[in-house]
Amino acid sequence: MNEDFKQFLSYITQEDIEFEIYEVISSFLKKVFESEFAVVKIDNINFADKESFDFIIDFLSKQLQNKLLFIFSSSSEVHRVPKELHL
């Protein structure tokens, strides 16, 4: 890592990082929801912390007024499926 980049990183706070992540995710989701219908797939949402889950619910409730939405959530824990059902 070059020294300029290291110095830049030293000025960034946790709040700055969280804000940037929120902005990037918000921008992406706003673009996705510009159409009349959207499908969202969220893998392993059961592992989300409370703040992340609250963000998702809050964002969706504000952005999706009068829009059709399908949210698909899945878990990739294969060991829960009986062996006779494995492909």
How does pLDDT run across 55-81, given as a tens digit for each residue?
777 877 777 676 776 666 666 655 555
Question: If you average pLDDT over residues 13-40, what whole number do you get?
Answer: 81
Question: If you average pLDDT over residues 30-58, what whole number do you get?
Answer: 77
Partnered with residue 71 across adjacent β-strands are: 40
Residue with tokens 């504000």: 62
CA angle 20, 24, 30 (to 5 degrees): 140
Which pLDDT does position 46 carry in this prediction?
Answer: 73
Q: By C-alpha distance, which of 87, 51, 57 is closest to 69? A: 57
* CA distances to 19, 42, 43, 72, 80 from 77, in Å: 31, 14, 11, 16, 6
Q: Name which of 26-35, 49-58, 77-86 the model is least confident about.
A: 77-86
Per the structure, the count of domains in the chain is 1
The span from the CA of 85 to the CA of 81, in Å, is 7
Tell me the residue range of the domain where 57 lies.
3-85
> Which residue type occupies 6?
K
